Amino acid sequence: MPFFPDIPKIQFEGPKSKNPFAFKQYNPDEVIAGKSMREQFRFAAAYWHVMRNGLADPFGGPTALMPWDDQSNSVDNALKRADVFFEFINKMDIDYYCWHDRDISPELNDLSKSNAALEKVTDHLLGLQKEHGKKLLWGTACLFAHPRYSQGAGTSPSAEVFAYGAAQIKAAMDATMKLGGEGYTFWGGREGYSTLLNTDMKRELDHLAALLHLAVDYAKTIDFKGQFYIEPKPREPSTHQYDSDSAACLNFLRQYDLMDHFKLNLETNHATLAGHTMLHEMTVAIDANALGSVDANQGDELIGWDTDQFPTDIYLTTSIMMKVLEMGGFTTGGLNFDAKRRRESHDPSDLFHAHIGGMDAFARGLKIAAAIREDGRLQNFVDKRYESWNSGIGAKIESKSISLAQINDHVLATGEPTLTSGRQEMLENLINDFI
């Protein structure tokens, strides 16, 4: 029996459609910039938001209506949720999904019991994946919700807590492997600190790196070929999170010799919490050849919080897709809707509206980004802006074939440089012509 009986399979009806349960822009088979939209985006639904987020906020409890969920911590309830979830991604025509171990399967306060439950649930998920042709984009372990992790997992002051977290990661990696997951993510949920009065930062960072190395080594023993990701976030829940932004993560990976094994999973709302744009974070990652995947959402400029809203801002989706096209598209990664409905949007049908909106916004962003690239004026402007580096003094500096004294002679001979305008407003107008 269907859990969303009134909702049809969502189909592309084009921009003129007035049907709220149809795609207006996302046409999965339409080829844009050399690939079908389906392949360009590799959309994923986040199990934690779709199935487990009751939409509570710090001032009030859950509002989401989930008539299928008996609110128990049982394996049966977990199995039923999996059925509901697959009906949802089927109707949405979303090919991938992502989970934390404890979203799909209960935490039973005993590792062997929790692992046994995870085994049962993943057996069921594997069957559902095969039946519906769906794939796991990435898995991860929830190392931040249980009280044992209240002071961190990999960065806990307690070696026993670190060990528990490591064991939980082993099971989550096994489950990811079993489900053919294309990646495995580390988001440092509580890997940070609240006060330095009680914190040995150097030791905690050494431990976090040790944990990641343990995972890399374990992957080899089970022949897990998926991509590892780190997901930066600057604060919330910890006041100071160690993986605060792209640059901090890359520095950490380089310092601890992990660059060959990790890429970044970047989330828009985390970028803005870090005081950056998503464009900035993506640029930093791509320049280091380390952009792996994207958690697609957006924040609220008026609330300084990880509001995880569905991405509807066309300017934002355009800039993200410009970067994705620039790096040649996703390989192991994709666009995971790490996004939740507003607390007021409590109906199951709102799950559909939310994802339709995100997918349509990205479809428009892709079309606009492809058109801007095709047009070429923006790239030409940038190329021209740096053209003094292509020959003469610039080429000599770039190729390190000139000394400071020779540069001095050059300046004495040529005199005051002339600068051309940055033309920011003209370029903003150019972008708007496409939007």
Which residues lie near ligand XLS (CB under 6 A)?
100, 140, 185, 187, 231, 233, 267, 295, 306, 338
The whole-angstrom separation of Cα 89 and Cα 94 is 5
| Token duo for residue 198 | 């009680």
Of 25 and 140, nearer to ligand XLS (C-beta) is 140
The whole-angstrom separation of Cα 213 and Cα 185 is 14
Q: At its nearest, how many Å lie between ligand XLS and the CB of residue 125?
A: 18
Nearest to 211 by CA among 173, 169, 241: 169
Of 12 and 47, nearer to ligand XLS (C-beta) is 47
Nearest to 298 by CA among 364, 362, 373: 362
Catalytic residue (choose from 49, 100, 207, 355): 100
Q: At its nearest, how many Å lie between Ni ion and the CB of residue 435?
A: 26
In degrees and rounded to multiples of 5, residue 23 shows phi and psi of -80, 135
| Token duo for residue 100 | 């934390």
Tell me which of ligand XLS, Ni ion, none is bound by residue 140, counting a contact when its beta carbon lies within the kind-specific cut-off of 5 to 8 angstroms.
ligand XLS
Q: Which residues bind Ni ion (CB under 5 A)?
A: 267, 295, 306, 338
Of 87 and 191, nearer to ligand XLS (C-beta) is 191
Of 115 and 336, nearer to ligand XLS (C-beta) is 336
In degrees and rounded to multiples of 5, residue 334 shows phi and psi of -175, -165
By beta carbon distance, the residue nearest ligand XLS is 187
Tell me which of Ni ion, ligand XLS, none is bound by residue 332, counting a contact when its beta carbon lies within the kind-specific cut-off of 5 to 8 angstroms.
none
Q: At its nearest, how many Å lie between ligand XLS and the CB of residue 320?
A: 16
- Catalytic: 100? yes
Of 164 and 229, nearer to ligand XLS (C-beta) is 229
**Which amino acid is it at 425?**
E
Angle, alpha carbons 272-322-337 (nearest 5°): 55
Tell me which of Ni ion, ligand XLS, none is bound by residue 95, counting a contact when its beta carbon lies within the kind-specific cut-off of 5 to 8 angstroms.
none
112 and 95 Cβ atoms separated by less than 8 Å: no
In degrees and rounded to multiples of 5, residue 83 shows phi and psi of -60, -45
Q: At its nearest, how many Å lie between Ni ion and the CB of residue 310?
A: 13
Catalytic residue (choose from 49, 95, 101, 103): 103
Q: At its nearest, how many Å lie between Ni ion and the CB of residue 197?
A: 28
Tell how strand 291-295 and strand 335-337 pair up: parallel
In degrees and rounded to multiples of 5, residue 364 shows phi and psi of -65, -45
Q: 99: which strand partners?
A: 139
Give the side-chain half-sphere CA count within 13 A for 94: 28
Q: Please identify every residue annotated as catalytic.
A: 100, 103
